[in-house]
Structure 1
Amino acid sequence: MIVFVTGATSGFGAGIARKFAQHGHKVIATGRREERLQALAAECGTNVLPVVMDVTSQQSIQAALDNLPADWREIDVLVNNAGLALGVKPAHEASLAQWETMIATNCQGLATVTRLILPDMVKRDRGHIINISSSAGAYAYPGANVYGASKAFVDQFSKNLRADLAGTNVRSSNIAPGLAGGTEFSNVRLNDDAAAAKVYEGTTPLTAEDIAESAYWIATLPAHVNINHLEIMPTCQGFGPLFIKRHPT
């Protein structure tokens, strides 16, 4: 298989790229940080093709696709992993610029990459779109506002792809991780390494390797099997009662 991974410079994306490469598949690893991509390629060998690309720029995405070597162009699996969370302030105090960045990356970027790669999959009547969302797309919590909404978009977009692709051999899946550590997610969100570390104190969160294992399993199932939605949480995470704000009497 030829696997195209966005956001492969760290975390889930790097883990997914490694997993497929280790199993002998060709991986187009994309992201904005060239030195990270080169290091990944050096680690994994010739199965990884590093490509600098910014998902928030249609021009950058198109250039990346246009410049692929001829024997790397028939993409079998697209893993839309690039995404981020910024800030935890309530909606009325949140940064509008951070909201715009999350929408541009998590929604518009994912949709643009999909739209530019999907037609060739349909034409060949084979392929798989694997989107990485979050449990935040299903369960609201204070401070998630646009981040949670952007991940709900990813879930609904994945389902609507499935509706459009029914009857073809092109699959669409969504992976929704819960608490996950060992990535840059909380460091980027909080812009504070110490505060990010506290998020995971006393827990055993999911790892990038867990998500990579899940993506690989989904992609290597028999061609007639489509996993619509896979929600994953660590055993330290669960559900609680709905929040009620009580005022002093």
Structure 2
Amino acid sequence: MAKIALITGATAGIGEACAYVFAREGYDLILTGRRLDRLEGVASAINQQYNVEVAVSQFDVRDRQAVAETLEALPSDWKQVDVLVNNAGLSQGLDPIQNGSLDDWETMIDTNIKGLLYVSRIVSGWMIKNGYGHIINLGSIAGKEVYPNGNVYCATKHAVDALNQGMRLDLLQYSIRVTGVHPGAVETEFSEVRFKGDKERAKKVYEGFEPLVAQDIAETIWFAASRPAHVNINDIVVMPTAQATATNIFRKS
């Protein structure tokens, strides 16, 4: 029986790239996300390229009931998950704390922290019963340092960093591995989402240097997942060569 990877936020960016990498390595996939048409498109493309099974589950990780009902409705064979990639996450706005949007704050907190927890609680329970598993949480350089106007987004990713450590401790006795992967600047939909669809503003974020791309992070995640069972990569920070910190980027004129 093939191994199974469950990937959240698999409609685009890092999540989609992870789907292709794990399919390449022979994993059957459970792909989740909000946009059913995108999920089905990714599943169809993977089925044409790789000989793997792909299950699609549409839900918003912020919806606790939908997460539980959709995941628990999966057939028992699909609950033999080897790797959970908690990729679903986003940033909204880039405002100083005194001007921050409460709606933006709630969206980030509900997606980046609570959504990750809703999925992890269910899947970790399966892993404990199965006697194996690996949880890989997508953090950010924003979970290692704080930058101006990043306030709440940085706070949510610091929470993810703490949860990596908490999960590692709590699941230690069950031989379940936990890894945190923290990228710097990755050119995906991230900045476009942050700036509410402003493509020009988003594009400027990556001008003058070569950022990471989704495939870079997917390959890093695969490296962690592909280590022998007795090896756990606790934490990985991945940056473009041109980026030293969240805000220190060398841009060519």
* TM value normalised by structure 1: 0.93
Following superposition, the deviation at residue 21 of structure 1 comes to 0.8
Q: What is the percentage of aligned positions where both structures have the same residue?
A: 45
TM-score scaled to structure 2, two decimals? 0.92
For 1:4, what is the secondary structure of its paired residue? strand
2:225 aligns with 219
Alignment of 1:64-75 (within 5 A): 64-75=70-81
**Do 2:147 and 2:246's aligned partners in 1 also have CA atoms closer than 8 Å?**
no
Unaligned runs of 5+ in 2: 249-253
Q: What is the alpha-carbon distance in structure 2 between the residues aligned to residue 71 and residue 84 of structure 1?
A: 31
> What secondary structure sits across from 2:20 in the alignment?
helix
What is the Cα deviation at residue 17 of structure 1?
A: 0.9
What corresponds to 1:245 in structure 2? Answer: none
For residue 11 of structure 1, what is the aligned residue in structure 2? 13
Change in CA separation of 1:114 and 1:190 when aligned onto 2, cut-off 3 Å: same
Residues 30, 55 of structure 2: 8 Å contact kept: yes
The alpha-carbon deviation at position 164 of structure 1 amounts to 1.2
Paired position in structure 2 for 1:190: 195
Aligned match of 2:42: 40
- SS state at 2:22 partner: helix
Letter in 2 for 1:33: R
Q: Distance in 2 between matches of 1:44 and 1:197?
A: 28
After TM superposition, give the deviation of residue 240 of structure 1 in Å: 9.1
Moved more, 231-240 or 135-144: 231-240
CA distance in 1, matches of 2:185, 2:18: 17
1:126-162 CA-to-partner distances (Å, cap 9, x unmatched) read 0011000100111111111110000000011011111
Aligned partner of 2:117 among 100, 111, 127:
111
CA positional deviation for 1:241: 10
Is residue 58 from structure 1 mapped to residue 60 from structure 2 by the alignment? no
1:141 aligns with 2:153: no
The whole-number CA distance in structure 2 between the counterparts of 1:105 and 1:241 is 24
CA RMSD of aligned residues (A): 1.5
How do 1:81-96 residues align onto structure 2 when only pairs under 5 Å count?
81-96=87-102
Q: Distance in 2 between matches of 1:166 and 1:235?
A: 34
User: Secondary structure, in 3 states, of the residue corresponding to 1:167?
Assistant: helix
Name the structure 1 match of 2:22. 20
* CA distance in 2 between partners of 1:240 and 1:66 (Å): 38
Distance 1:171 1:238, change over 3 A: same
The answer to whether 1:162 aligns with 2:168 is yes
Moved over 3 A (4+): 239-242
2-structure distance, mates of 1:214, 1:241: 22
| Further displaced range: 114-123 or 128-137 | 114-123
Whether contact under 8 Å (2:7, 2:31) holds in the other structure is yes
Q: What amino acid maps onto 1:10 in structure 2? A: A
